[in-house]
Amino acid sequence: MTDTRVPPPYLGDERTQLDNWLEWHRATLAVKCAGLSDEQLRTRSVPPSSLSLLGLVRHLAHVERVWFRRVLNGEDVPKLWGKDRDNDADFGEVDTASVKEAFDTWQEEIAHARAISAAHSLDAVGDRDGRKCSHRWILIHVIEEYARHNGHADLLRERIDGVTGE
């Protein structure tokens, strides 16, 4: 497993720290998925859980879209993966999902998120179902989402092929 992540700097202003930690966690999920077959990416954790690496990629594409495009930027973009009809579709429908589409969509949503984030101050305010939240809060929340799910990815990867690591 090739690891090309750049560790976040120990020193830097708040924006630099938040941006770098988010990039670290995005890259961490990519590392956890690297070199696996489509079948391995679809491998579920343990019954009855629907958790898989492919599901995590699909879920985090949705997270990027919701928090940056819908909440912070106010875009009226549809939910991904049929989440408007089934909130767990990102995890539950991986058996027939396209791996290429999932990874391409994830990278597209990351590109949108980077551009939107760069265009807003940390104090910019977005709207989540009538509740206001700052760009700063959104960045921290998305970092938290990745951190939690990267822990899941560690366990999934170890189950699939025994590979462990940070």
In a structure prediction context, what are the per-residue pLDDT tens digits for the chain, which is 166 residues long? Answer: 578 888 999 999 999 999 999 999 999 999 999 999 999 999 999 888 999 999 999 999 999 999 999 999 999 999 999 888 999 999 998 999 999 999 999 999 999 999 999 999 999 999 999 999 999 999 999 999 999 999 999 999 999 999 887 7
pTM of the model: 0.95
Check the CA dihedral 136-141-144-146 and report its sign: negative
The pLDDT value recorded for residue 114 is 98
Distance in angstroms (rounded) separating the CA atoms of residues 84 and 80: 8
DSSP states along 101-143:
HHHHHHHHHHHHHHHHHHTS-TT-EEEETTEEEEHHHHHHHHH
The pLDDT value recorded for residue 165 is 74
Read off the DSSP letter of residue 97.
S
Sketch out the chain's domains with CATH numbers: 29-161 (1.20.120.450)
Structure tokens at 146: 């990745």
The pLDDT value recorded for residue 1 is 56
Distance in angstroms (rounded) separating the CA atoms of residues 46 and 63: 24
